[in-house]
Structure 1
């Protein structure tokens, strides 16, 4: 009898401790033992469809900074320009989450570059930037790599479009082409547009991004659920996806081992670093290389590909915008090949691309941060090791700043003389020390693909096709499947035409 009383008492104490919050901690929705705020958040997500809309709804109730308990994880959600900038720029929030999912994807360790912090992140970032620059990152040679991929895609569009009479599926259209520019620097290789192995991996990429949210999903919030519901929780599928990716990446690494002295791509450079630092550091290992490649593969393909699909979607919806871009390209470039240096003279096109990124919010929530020490955020006290979710969407859709954020209006980024306005509220790549590593590559990709496609094609909605109004959500937001007509704006006498 006494033992049962003790057990009940312990359980009561556990339940109380599990739901109480520290002094001066942000308030938030109701908490329950073990599951935290999960039930209310799930109900709101089913109603609103997207996590960033859930956070927006809760911010209207609890303020721009509020707390949620995600299973066993303490999290603070941050919305609004001032609070988001503070989180992204303050060193106290430079950590990355360290939950079950983030270790599960990395051989149950803290590896890679996206979800590590401290000296490990500093060392790996420095290594990556040094060797990517050697491979042409941010230089003329990177532009040439991307240009080749764009030209190959244009030739394929000419072949498939049947002179503009045959609709082309836009979803997945840019996957291989975008990845090739990055993979050439990572592995010194490129894939054909219809490479079946890569097509499978890109499909897995899209599936994996749809299965999770920026907090790591239910597997991270309540890891025990993988034993109770391995399929429904996504554990079985994610395990399979990781196996497929690592099988592919391991094969590439093994291939590089046989020619490590003959190549200068990032994989070979890393393998040399492993050999050189075999006894002195744990930062360079084959497992770290594999997770690093996984991080760069996923981050370097999904967001850029989705952004390009959104560009096509917005141009289909806004014919007058497309007409203005055509007119600007004809006046500034004409029939010659578009160059990256033309960007300064194509300010309306640049404004269109910025407006697509602001309006579509491919990454509505910044990659999760973590407080690395006890700190403050506005009037609140934030404990060490608290997960921080910062809403980029709330900044890009702020009505007081933008006036009409729900409208697609590129002119908001142009001044009276037609020059670009560098608005500090425009932060699609984040800000601060953890700003997106691949920003330069992403911007170059988006500009070159869009400029050359619009130089050579007019985009039309196929007859009888309804463009999607509802997008797909997950770690990122992407358009639901749709198709477009790519109508040549000039004659192409043969398929060997170079652009």
Structure 2
């Protein structure tokens, strides 16, 4: 009797494992037998091809496109992704057929980050449309794209320069400093004021971002957790997932603190900033839109801060690393700064007379592709695409890295060459294949703001400082990088010598 019970208990304990295995086999074989579905490599049950992606998934996917075509499929974890690897297919999907490709897949980490709110992680639909329309209009009203934004950036440049000068000739890692400087532009728009770099609350917020986006030990794992959430049960990933959730909780605690302080000073007769505008909509009796609630403003604050601080600071750091490795680029920009701006105040009106600086920034955005796989999309309908039939709710990845490193469009794409964007007369040429912020309805709405910040921060730094490598023996190459959600430079130190 006891032996029978032991056998029964043993069988009972195996049922969940057998069930998971059977389910994974179902997904595995259903994928390979879909009619007229894009071809692709076969992966393992449960994990798919996640272990084959390597340290640089965009390069791996680009290589696979040589075998399977620019539109192919790949199982990553329990999901079957369709991968778009060239400009033409991405352009067709996100612009010509945007009604079919504007969704967001229901992915665990994206769900946890968005909690069903915000704009970036919210699925396509009326609520997403209304919130994006509100955010774009509000930011425009607050000065994005106008002279006020330039004034905010140039004022912050002075605080940044003061901090750099206080360090003397000592080499240091500028990562957190740049996040704080660019983040303060967002603080001005969101909350109506900047935060001192040593503010305790601000430092905690930056530390949370640092763990998620910049740590070499965690950054690649976060991407894997997004595309294949099942790996969170594996050793190594389990710790990263736990740390990510803790940092997410900390971030929302900080945002709650900032929001409560702001609500205490709210006056509907004096609307000062983005948060005030949102709170005014929440309190308005005439506004019937149910999306205007506290969880939504939390998420909008987080998204805008990440997009406006992490992304821009990363591109500035890539630029600084380039100066340290290849000072000839810094010298050419310095020459333009001296000739066009002199000792005056940098302005966007100077951009037309600084072709090499514009070419340098476009090459940085191309060569060091900010978000190599962009944010995942999802089909919102059954659709015919590229000669294939793609079912509704299929997750889709757009390989922006492949587009911006396409040898058929960019000669020697792995080389950093700003002059590729200068014509015979030395004038800057805008290239439509440089799409760091993607395009279509789900493009990054901060793209205009990012380009203005990059130009003004970079020209202001060159105007005031010479960037010099802290140590040639420990300086990473411009071709190094840590591949995650955002492609970030490794840790490095440089000196900023006053000119």
Q: TM-score, normalised by structure 2?
A: 0.88
Kindly state the Cα deviation for residue 443 of structure 1 after the two structures are TM-superposed.
Answer: 0.8
Distance 1:277 1:30, change over 3 A: farther
RMSD between superposed Cα atoms in Å: 2.5
Match of 2:494 among 477, 484, 488: 484
Distance 1:288 1:403, change over 3 A: same
Residue 84 of structure 2 is aligned to residue 78 of structure 1: yes
Match of 1:268 among 255, 276, 296: 276
Kindly state the Cα deviation for residue 342 of structure 1 after the two structures are TM-superposed.
Answer: 0.9
SS of residue in 2 equivalent to 1:75: strand
Residue 196 of structure 2 is aligned to residue 184 of structure 1: no
What is the CA deviation profile of residues 409-445 of structure 1, one whole-angstrom value per residue up to 9, with x for unaligned ones? Answer: 1111111122221111111111222221001111111
Which residue in the other structure is 2:25 paired with? 15
Q: Distance in 1 between matches of 2:110 and 2:471?
A: 45
Instruction: Give yes or no for contact 2:221–2:240 (8 Å, CA) kept in 1.
Output: no
Which residue in the other structure is 1:418 paired with? 426
SS of residue in 1 equivalent to 2:408: helix
Which residue in the other structure is 2:346 paired with? 338
Q: Which segment drifts farther, 60-69 or 464-473?
A: 464-473
Q: Distance in 1 between matches of 2:74 and 2:221?
A: 14
Which residue in the other structure is 2:134 paired with? 127
Which residue in the other structure is 1:250 paired with? 256
Which residue in the other structure is 1:497 paired with? none
SS of residue in 2 equivalent to 1:124: helix
Which residue in the other structure is 2:49 paired with? 37
Kindly state the Cα deviation for residue 323 of structure 1 after the two structures are TM-superposed.
Answer: 1.4
Q: Distance in 2 between matches of 1:383 and 1:326?
A: 53
Map 1:284-295; keep pairs closer than 5 Å. Answer: 284-295=292-303
Which residue in the other structure is 2:333 paired with? 325
Q: Distance in 2 between matches of 1:278 and 1:229?
A: 52
Which residue in the other structure is 1:390 paired with? 398
Residue 150 of structure 2 is aligned to residue 138 of structure 1: no
Kindly state the Cα deviation for residue 172 of structure 1 after the two structures are TM-superposed.
Answer: 2.3
Kindly state the Cα deviation for residue 11 of structure 1 after the two structures are TM-superposed.
Answer: 7.4
SS of residue in 2 equivalent to 1:435: coil
Q: Which segment drifts farther, 421-430 or 200-209?
A: 200-209
Kindly state the Cα deviation for residue 217 of structure 1 after the two structures are TM-superposed.
Answer: 3.3
The number of equivalent residue pairs is 473
What is the CA deviation profile of residues 65-104 of structure 1, one whole-angstrom value per residue up to 9, with x for unaligned ones? Answer: 2111222222111111211222322211111122222222
Q: Distance in 1 between matches of 2:202 and 2:473?
A: 29
Map 1:445-484; keep pairs closer than 5 Å. Answer: 445-469=453-477, 470-484=480-494
Gaps of 5+ in 1: 490-499
Kindly state the Cα deviation for residue 277 of structure 1 after the two structures are TM-superposed.
Answer: 5.7
Q: Distance in 2 between matches of 1:449 and 1:274?
A: 35
Gaps of 5+ in 2: 1-10
Instruction: Give yes or no for contact 2:53–2:61 (8 Å, CA) kept in 1.
Output: no
Q: TM-score, normalised by structure 1?
A: 0.88
Q: Distance in 1 between matches of 2:203 and 2:133?
A: 31
Instruction: Give yes or no for contact 2:212–2:244 (8 Å, CA) kept in 1.
Output: yes
Instruction: Give yes or no for contact 1:73–1:387 (8 Å, CA) kept in 2.
Output: yes
Kindly state the Cα deviation for residue 229 of structure 1 after the two structures are TM-superposed.
Answer: 6.5
Residue 414 of structure 2 is aligned to residue 406 of structure 1: yes
Q: Distance in 1 between matches of 2:272 and 2:345?
A: 30
Instruction: Give yes or no for contact 1:178–1:305 (8 Å, CA) kept in 2.
Output: yes
Residue 101 of structure 2 is aligned to residue 59 of structure 1: no
Residue 109 of structure 2 is aligned to residue 101 of structure 1: yes
Q: Distance in 2 between matches of 1:338 and 1:328?
A: 12
Q: Distance in 2 between matches of 1:440 and 1:364?
A: 19
Map 1:196-211; keep pairs closer than 5 Å. Answer: 196-209=200-213, 211=218
